[in-house]
A and B are shown apart, each in its own frame.
Chain A
């Protein structure tokens, strides 16, 4: 079987799992059987995806069926497109989806059976939608799947919908990404208007043969970028991602770290040849990406919630990828997407294990966990080193590639921002490591155990309320995914560091990536240097406590205060949205009250007055009626007589 058929199987397996779980209600309500069924589907999907990746031989394979008929050629097709980008991305999606589903089995073990079945139904739907997005041969199918993953994100963020924050976060995520999606839809339709096709292959042909008119193309690419901005949490549409952490931690790992949020980066990488025609938009992409990276990194430094640190870190790394795309080397951004998917999923699942054990997201409740959870500590440190970009770990080369491409692209400003972000990334991640895994165990009030906060209650699904005895490494179904991801992160890191080039792509892509920029020799030492400086600062502050955290905080007083308020961006949005909604509704209210109701009131008042005046005719006396009758008849007779004459 060719890679196209294998990828199709990988796509349809979770779809089948979803359909069965959605239709066969008893299976879904049974909980664990539904989970096993879904995991089985994910495993099959992973096997097919790996098969499709290995079977890929350099020739672009596509399977497409006519969907919307058109004149001459179909208006839209539906199918799979297997090329070097989609096959490797498919493997990442299938792998993380499978590991997360396996992990969730233990993480959500205390969930009631119907809830568990619902969870796995959504998970299967998500896996299918994300794979459909990855494999989409045209922009229309991509958009449909794009919306489907948005729906799954909404459903899974709001999985604990009884919790008001979760329901609110779900709605916020849905609306914010939807704001960007409108741009994407407009962009796709406008692109169709000038090119007459949705098909990625045909569009690429048109671009390479210069058939696409350049006038107005910037607007189109910017609209497409708006969609990516919403999905990939770029400033100013990044506000939904930190709130999305209200969902279960495995969901955060899968959707809000490894796969769905990277869809924007993937889309821009997929259409990089189109964006290459509009350098002005690329410049916007680069600057917004770098700014987002810095903003999120600063925000991550002041968070006390372990998941929120990771969430802002994700936003920051997405900014990194976007900057690389803006610099015109989308391969570097895509490579970082893949490595980031591995180690960020690892970090989230590790954080999940910690939350599971401690029963709280709060860093101040952790401390000294390395002794009691040694395996979790090891894999978490591996993920942290990968994120910091230390050689021989996953994120090292991809980060280097991005920095090199941004420097090579002549974007000095974004480059400087990204170097600062590299420092901050190392700092805030090791802050988490030192606070959570080292130092003295936090003093936990014994009384507060039973009356836990709602977050702890919901998030610590497998938690029994007794702290001391439960702070140990998680059970095997949770540990196994952690180790697999850790080994893969290190493996990718060692291979890419040793080989010194992008490993997944064919040699052609690697050469193309290398030829486009020539990284200066000082880049690697500088990047590793700032990362180590960040680690050192975190070590001095949070491990040896040579530098007191409070003096560090007072050094950056105003920035810290602003960061604690999320730079007022959320407040601004809420204010603007609230003001706009209020203004609009009061306008509508005025129209309703004075125009719509006014007309009705005038008509009814007129009717009432007329009726009041006319009622005096009705005396109720028979004789008056008779009199009227006689007079009327007489008049009628006179009139007939007169008209006949």
Chain B
């Protein structure tokens, strides 16, 4: 399989993630979508590293996974705090910025 197949997979995963972020009503669902998008990026990095013969992409991906874990922890902590304050995690109800 060539590079194109990996890139297509990454694009599909990214699209699914974006769809989830935009459409999910639950904040946790949005977080999951973000995770998917991050992983699509990681697939891209690994694929390019594999086909260009450089290891830098691999190392970068390891860093990115670590950061994604931290980000997920941060995101969940925010969701919990949000729930404590607003008694809801539904994204539709969180519209304080409404004009």
User: 29 A-B pairs, CB-CB below 8 angstroms?
Assistant: A614-B99, A615-B99, A616-B99, A617-B99, A618-B97, A618-B98, A618-B99, A619-B95, A619-B99, A620-B94, A620-B96, A620-B97, A620-B98, A621-B92, A621-B94, A621-B95, A621-B98, A622-B30, A622-B91, A622-B94, A623-B21, A623-B22, A623-B24, A623-B30, A623-B91, A626-B21, A626-B22, A630-B18, A630-B22
Smallest CB-CB separation from B27: which chain A residue? A622
Count B interface residues, CB 8 Å.
14
Contact partners of B23 in chain A: CB under 8 A: 623
Interchain nearest-CB distance for B76 vs A (Å) = 16
B57-74 residues with Cβ-Cβ distance < 8 A to A are none
Interchain nearest-CB distance for B8 vs A (Å) = 16
Interchain nearest-CB distance for A369 vs B (Å) = 88
Smallest CB-CB separation from B91: which chain A residue? A623
Complex Cα–Cα for A620 and B18 (A): 19
9 nearest A-B pairs in the assembled complex, by CB-CB distance:
A618-B99, A620-B98, A620-B95, A620-B97, A615-B99, A627-B22, A621-B95, A623-B22, A623-B91
Smallest CB-CB separation from B96: which chain A residue? A620
* Cβ contact of B99, chosen from A620, A626, A630, cutoff 8 A: A620
Given pairs A618-B99, A627-B22, 8 additional interface contacts (CB within 8 A): A617-B99, A619-B95, A620-B94, A620-B95, A620-B96, A621-B91, A622-B91, A622-B94
**Which residues of chain A have a CB within 8 Å of any CB of chain B?**
614-623, 626-627, 630
Interchain nearest-CB distance for A633 vs B (Å) = 10
Mostly helix, strand, loop or mixed at chain A's interface? helix
B91 touches A619 (CB 8 A): no
Interface string of B15-32 (1 = CB under 8 A from A): 000100111100000100
Interface string of B79-99 (1 = CB under 8 A from A): 000000000000110111111
Interchain nearest-CB distance for B74 vs A (Å) = 16
Complex Cα–Cα for A535 and B95 (A): 101
Smallest CB-CB separation from A617: which chain B residue? B99
Complex Cα–Cα for A621 and B22 (A): 10
Interchain nearest-CB distance for A641 vs B (Å) = 14
Contact partners of B91 in chain A: CB under 8 A: 621-623
Contact partners of A617 in chain B: CB under 8 A: 99
* Cβ contact of B98, chosen from A619, A623, A627, A630, cutoff 8 A: A619
Complex Cα–Cα for A615 and B99 (A): 5
Smallest CB-CB separation from B15: which chain A residue? A630
Contact partners of A619 in chain B: CB under 8 A: 95, 98-99
Contact partners of B98 in chain A: CB under 8 A: 618-621
Interchain nearest-CB distance for B22 vs A (Å) = 5
Contact partners of B95 in chain A: CB under 8 A: 619-621
